[in-house]
Amino acid sequence: MTEWHTASASDLGREIGTGAIDPVELTQSFLSAIDAHPYGDRIYARTTPERALAEAEAARTRAQNGVRRGLLDGVPISWKDLFDTAGVVTEAGSKLLSGRVPQNDAVVLARSTRAGLVCLGKTHMTELAFSGLGINPSTATPPNVNDPELAPGGSSSGAATSVGYGLAAAGIGSDTGGSIRLPSVWNDLVGFKPTHGRLPLDGVVPLCESFDTVGPLCRTVEDCAGLFAVMDGTKAPDLVGATLSGKRFLVLDPYASDVREAPGAAFQSAVSRMAQAGATIETGRIAAVDEAMNTTLSLYTAEAYGTWRDEIEAAPEKMYDRILDRFRQGRSVMAADFVALWQRLRQLRQDYLRATGGYDAVLIPTAANLPPDAARLMSDDDYFVTENLLTLRNTRVGNLMGVCAVTLPTGIPSTGIMVMCPPGDDARLLRIAAAAEQALA
C-alpha cells in the first residue's frame, strides 16, 4: 500500500472508480502513515480522523453504488491551517489565534467535501502566511523533502510537505506573494496559483485580501486542474492533446538571469526542453514589472498591518519577532500613498498585458535561490531578511501583475519553472502547463 502514498490524486481516484482501492482503507492508510511518521507532527497541526473516516465511508458507499461525484471522490487531501473547518481549531500558524474554532467550513472546503474529497487534517504554515521561507518557531517548521535541515518554503509549508512525504494525495494552500508556488518548487511539486478572485476566500483567514488566492499543491498538473475545478464548482479543463508546438513564450529578465547558479541552470535546461518540444522562446524586459517590483511592495505590508493591527498590538509578544517586524513595516504607509500606489499598479498591469499580448505565456525561474538552511535562518537576522526577499522576488511578479501561474519541477531538486498567463486564462494556462510537464518529464 505504500505506493498509494506516492501516486497522484487522479490515479488514486481512477483506482477507486475501478474498485481496486477502497476509500476507507486508503484514508486509514494515510492517517496511520501520519501518526507513524517521524515528521508527522511537524507537518500536520492536527488531523481530523473522525471526519476523514466518515467522508471515506460515504465515498465507499457511492463507489459501490456507482454514483461517484467525480474523479477525486474518496481521495484524501490536506488543508493549510487557515481554511476554516467547522468545529476544528483553525489558528493560521499564530498564537494570536490560539484556540480559534470556526462554526463553518470555508467555501472551498465545503465544495470539496460535496465533491467527495476526504479531509485528512490541517497543515502547519508560516505565521499568518507572511513569509516565503516556511519557518515558524511559534508552532512548527516542516522539513524540506530533499533535506530536512533546509527551509520547506512558505507559507503553505505543511501543505507541500504533506504531499512530498507521502502523507496526503494533494494539499490545498494559499498564495499572496508566492505561498503556493514556493513550497511547491522547493519540494518538487506542481503548484497552481489561480487568478485572484476566481476562487472564493470566504472562511479563509486573510493576509492581504487584495492579493490572497487559494489553490492546490500536487504531484501533477492533472491533479491541479481537478482540484481547481472542484473548488471552482466547474468542470476540469480538458488537458488531452496539450502541446507546446507553435507556442510562443517570453523569458522575462532580469528575473530569469539574475538568479543563483543552480536555479538558473535548471531553468535554462527546462526552457531548452520546451524549445525542443516545439516552443518558440524569446527573451525580454518589461518596464512595468520593474517599476511595480521597485515601488509597490508596501501595498502588502500596509494591508496586512491594517488587517491585523488590533490583534497584533494587543499581544505582540505572542508573535515570532521577524514576522512581527514585517507586519509593522506597514504602520507608516499613508492612506493617500496606498491609494496612489494601487492606482499606479492597475495601470502597470495594463502595460504588462499589452507588452505580453503576443505571447502564449511568460516564463521565469520559480525561485531565484535554493532552500536556505533552516537553523541559520533562526539565528541570523540578516540572512533571514535577504533570503526571504530573494525567495519571494520571482513569485511576487505574478501577484503584482495579477496573473495566474503554475510552477513545474525541472527535474533538478528544489528548482522550478514558472509559467504565467493573463488573468482569467486559468484553463489555458493549465493546458500549457500540462504540455510543458510532458516536455520536462
Catalytic residue positions? Answer: 80, 155, 179
Distance between CA atoms of residues 174 and 364, nearest Å: 21
Residue closest to 97 by CA, chosen among 424, 318, 333, 357: 318
**What is the layout of strands, in order, in the sheet containing 416-421?**
44-47, 118-123, 76-80, 171-175, 213-218, 190-193, 404-409, 416-421, 361-365, 248-253, 280-285
Asked if 142 and 173 count as a contact pair (C-beta separation under 8 A), the reply is no
State the alpha helices, DSSP H only, in 316-380.
Answer: 321-328, 335-356, 374-379
DSSP string, 225-283: HHHHHHHHTSPPPP-TT---TT-EEEEEETTTTSS-HHHHHHHHHHHHHHHHTT-EEEE
Calculate the CA 52 to chain-centre distance.
22
Q: Is 52 left (phi over 0), alpha (psi -120 to 50) or beta?
A: alpha
Question: Hey, is 215 helix, strand or coil?
Answer: strand
Bridge partners, 223 (sequence order): none
Distance between CA atoms of residues 311 and 288, nearest Å: 36
The full length of the chain comes to: 441
Instruction: Report the run of H or E that residue 77 belongs to, with start and end.
Output: strand 76-80
Residue closest to 348 by CA, chosen among 337, 340, 358, 360: 340
What count of other Cβ atoms lies within 10 Å of the Cβ of residue 119? 24
325-331 contact pairs (CB < 8 A, 24+): 326/130, 326/131, 326/301, 327/128, 327/130, 327/301, 329/298, 329/301, 329/305, 330/298, 330/300, 330/301, 330/302, 330/303, 330/304, 330/305, 330/306, 331/305
Distance between CA atoms of residues 134 and 350, nearest Å: 32
Asked if 373 and 134 count as a contact pair (C-beta separation under 8 A), the reply is no
Calculate the CA 10 to chain-centre distance.
18
Distance between CA atoms of residues 191 and 189, nearest Å: 6
Q: What are phi and psi of 233, to 5 degrees?
A: 70, 30
